[in-house]
Amino acid sequence: MGRGDTAGYVNDIQFFSLSDGPGIRTTVFLKGCLLNCRWCHNPEGNRRFPEVLPYRNNCTGCGACLEVCPSGAIEMEGPCLPRIRRDRCIDCFRCAQACPEQALVVWGKLMTVDQVLEEVEKDKPFYKHSGGGMTVSGGEPLAQPEFTHDLLAEAKARGMNTALDTCGFAPWDILEKMLRVTDYVLLDLKHMDPQAHRAFCGAPNDLILENARRLAEGACGLRFRIPLIPGFNDVEENLAATADFIREVCRNGRECEVDILPYHPYAGAKYRIFGLEYPLPQGEGYPEERLRDIVRVFTSRRLTVTVGG
């Protein structure tokens, strides 16, 4: 069996992406994550395996899902408000198959490397003149290391520029193996304090910071991505510590770019559609003046900054 036959769980494939690396890119979102960030904008990508999530706005209350569910996992909280009992669901997906309105949708599909690249290559004509290529994201691609490696390797063998969008929470030997088939790394930095990182992301940040140092010593293109979360990592002390860390590891002429990714209030609405509870207070977006102040923290340290990816 060749690497084209390696299979993994894919959440989505986004074409003509302009915010996941250089040029025009095709972003492959994998299932599964190694962290548990409270503000996650993509809860449908957290679990490793396929799952059903409700799109409550589509439900007409026909009851077809209730009739076919063999484990009584679906309850109606109102005339058109389906809720899935995870403690009962056996992931048979009969409810999604029976729903005529796509109010119950299966997120995640088992695909081989060849099947994924058959889709990715539809964007290939855009890569040459834009300097684009394929980006593997998630979830967290390092949660499926074999599939991620073989997908990057095969894309590279087919002449594509490759990028890895990662939280960096994995042993270095796993990440190092990816670098052999990766041109560009997008690395999240969520907080510099290990206790705050553990409280909001489910794990400390020491491994992530050590991997960041090693990545900065390598030859791959490197871009740090900083999701701005109100009340978590947007205080001056943490912003300054983050900028100082990036400046420290990107020394001796090493080019490191920084993406500031402001919190978007639509995340809470997405959770409500899925019938999930959003664990953070519903906040507002950042005013332009505040964003300019945050950007200055990084540009004052001679770092190249973009806002929004």
57-94: pLDDT as tens digits:
899 999 999 999 999 999 988 888 888 998 999 999 99
Residue 269 has pLDDT above 80, yes or no: no
The domain tally of the chain equals 2
Range of the domain at 208: 3-47+109-307
Q: Are residues 119 and 257 in the same domain?
A: yes
Q: Are residues 67 and 95 in the same domain?
A: yes
The answer to whether 114 and 150 have CB atoms below 8 angstroms apart is no
Q: Are residues 33 and 68 in the same domain?
A: no
Q: Are residues 19 and 165 in the same domain?
A: yes
112-132: pLDDT as tens digits:
999 999 999 999 999 999 999
Q: Are residues 220 and 282 in the same domain?
A: yes
Instruction: Find the radius of gyration of the CA atoms of the chain.
Output: 20
Q: Are residues 80 and 191 in the same domain?
A: no
Task: Look up the CATH number of the domain holding residue 101.
Answer: 3.30.70.20
Q: Are residues 169 and 75 in the same domain?
A: no
Residue type at 295 in one-letter notation: V
Tell me the mean pLDDT in the region 89-100. Answer: 96
Q: Are residues 256 and 225 in the same domain?
A: yes
Phi-psi region of 138 (alpha: psi -120 to 50; beta: other; left: phi over 0): beta
Q: Are residues 75 and 198 in the same domain?
A: no
3-state secondary structure 9-52: EEEEEEEEECCCCCCCEEEEEECCCCCCCCCCCCHHHCCCCCEE
Q: Are residues 98 and 155 in the same domain?
A: no
pTM of the model: 0.93
The mean of the pLDDT values for the chain is 94
Separation of alpha carbons 281 and 253, rounded Å: 41
Residue 42 has pLDDT above 90, yes or no: no
DSSP secondary structure string, 139-185?
S-GGGSHHHHHHHHHHHHHTT-EEEEEE---S-HHHHHHHHTT-SEE
Q: Are residues 27 and 78 in the same domain?
A: no
